[in-house]
Amino acid sequence: MPLAKLPPDPAPTDEELATIRGVPVASLTVGDYIFGEMEWQRLSQERDPNAFLVRYATDATNFGWSLDYRDYLKSKEWKKIRKRVLESADYLCAGCGGTASAVHHRDYRPRVLIGEDDAPLIPLCSECHDAIHIDNKAADAWDKAEAALAALIAMNEAKISNLDTTLVAGRLYLEQQNRSVQSNDDSSSSAERRSR
């Protein structure tokens, strides 16, 4: 399956913004939109810590959720999740089909970090993992990593389907060969029978 895009974050309606700002919808200003949306996000986050995509674990603290990501990577919980993801992929790298040794986070929502949602966790070999994190300091690093990951997965899947086509063609060829060998056998045996 090609890499599915993560669903977009929810956005407030004008009515919700107007309620938060205490003004009628018709008189919402640019400032109401900006500050209203900030407040709406804070309230949504309070109601549901998993409401928004967390692009990097360091961002998690922006939502009032403190976590040292390096400590997390040393935790027993993460080791368990990592092992589970690698095992369920038979240790195959999603990017190249090599041996996966790393698990990449597309999303650092609390539910992913506590192991309730493994879908955004992608098994990768160290080369593929390094390749997608090549531009980690860029402002759009997360988007770049997502695009690179999608491209690697698409290439790997094309390779697998080519391989499948080759295997199917090979199997058909062998079957045909067997059939002609068999029919030769049949005709020779019937010829033998006839001659007897």
**Which positions lie near Zn ion, rule CB under 5 A?**
93, 95-96, 98, 104, 125, 128
Pairwise CA distance, residues 76 & 125, whole Å: 22
Query: Residue 186: which residues within 8 A CB-CB, separation 6 or more?
Result: none
Give the containing element (helix H, strand E) for 70.
helix 69-74
Q: Which is nearer to Zn ion, 35 or 82 (CB)?
A: 82
Q: State the minimum distance, in angstroms, from the CB of residue 178 to Zn ion.
A: 37
Shortest distance, position 84 Cβ to Zn ion, whole Å:
17
Nearer to Zn ion, 41 or 156 (CB): 156
CB of residue 92 to Zn ion, shortest distance in Å: 9
Q: Residue 103 Cβ, how far from Zn ion at the closest point, in Å? A: 8
Return d(Cα 46, Cα 125) in angstroms, integer.
37
Residue 88 Cα distances to 19, 122, 191, angstroms: 47, 11, 56
Comparing CB distances to Zn ion, the nearer of 34 and 154 is: 154
Whether 9 and 52 have beta carbons less than 8 Å apart is answered as yes
Return the CA Rg of the chain. Answer: 28
Given the complex with Zn ion, which of 33 and 133 has the nearer CB atom?
133
